[in-house]
Amino acid sequence: MQVAKTLMATAALAAAGAIPLGARADTGKLLLTGGVSTIEGAAGGGITPWAVIGSNASAGEIGVSAYGSRLVTQDYGLNGYGLALGLHDRVELSVGRQDLDTGITGAALGLPDLHLRQTIVGVKAKVAGDAVLDSDSWMPQIAVGAQFKTLDSSGLDGTLDALGAKRAGADYYLSATKLFLAQGVLVNATLRATKANQNGLLGFGATLGGADDNYSFLPELSVAYLLRKNVAVGFEYRAMPNKLETAGRAAGLGDGLKADDWKDLFIAWAPSKHLSITAAYVDLGRVVPATTAGRSQTGVYLSGQLAF
- pLDDT of 101 above 60: yes
Q: Please compute the mean of the pLDDT values over residues 13-29 and round it to a whole number.
A: 41
Q: Which amino acid belongs to residue 40?
A: E
Are 165 and 154 in contact by the 8 Å Cβ rule? The answer is no
Task: Report pLDDT for 184.
Answer: 93
pLDDT at 173 over 70: yes
Report the Cα 258 to chain-centroid distance in Å. Answer: 21
In tens, the pLDDT along 183-241 reads 999 999 999 999 999 999 999 999 999 999 999 999 999 999 999 989 999 999 999 99
Q: How confident is the model at residue 33 (pLDDT cuts 50, 70, 90)?
A: confident
pLDDT at residue 299 tops 60: yes
CA 194 – CA 238 distance, rounded (Å): 12
SS3 state at 157: helix
291 phi/psi in degrees, rounded to 5: -110, -5
- H or E stretch at 99: strand 91-101
CA gap 235, 196 in Å, rounded: 23
Closest to 201 in 3D by CA, of 131, 106, 127, 294:
106
Cα separations in angstroms, 74 against 104, 258, 305: 10, 17, 25
pTM over 0.85: yes
| Mean of the per-residue pLDDT values of the chain | 91
Burial environment of residue 205 by CB neighbours within 10 A (0 to 12, 13 to 18, 19 or more): buried
Q: 163 in helix, strand or coil?
A: helix
Q: Would you say 296 and 285 are in contact if contact means Cβ atoms under 8 Å apart?
A: yes
Bridge partners (DSSP) of residue 146 are 123, 172
- Whole-number Å distance between alpha carbons of 52 and 81: 19
* Residue 255, phi then psi, degrees to nearest 5: -95, 30
Q: What is the DSSP letter of 15?
A: H
- Would you kindly state where each structural domain of the chain is located, as residue ranges? 2-307
Task: Look at residue 16 in the predicted model and tell me its pLDDT.
Answer: 34
303 pairs with which residues across the strands? 69, 278
- The Cα 147–Cα 163 span in angstroms is 23
How do residues 231-284 score in pLDDT, each as one tens digit? 999 999 999 999 999 999 999 999 999 999 999 999 999 999 999 999 999 999
Neighbour count for residue 128 (Cβ, 10 Å): 12
- Count CB atoms within 10 A of the CB of residue 138: 8
CB 260 within 8 A of CB 286: yes
CATH code for the domain defined by 2-307 = 2.40.160.40
Q: How far apart are the C-alpha atoms of 132 and 39, rounded to whole Å?
A: 24
DSSP state of 174: E
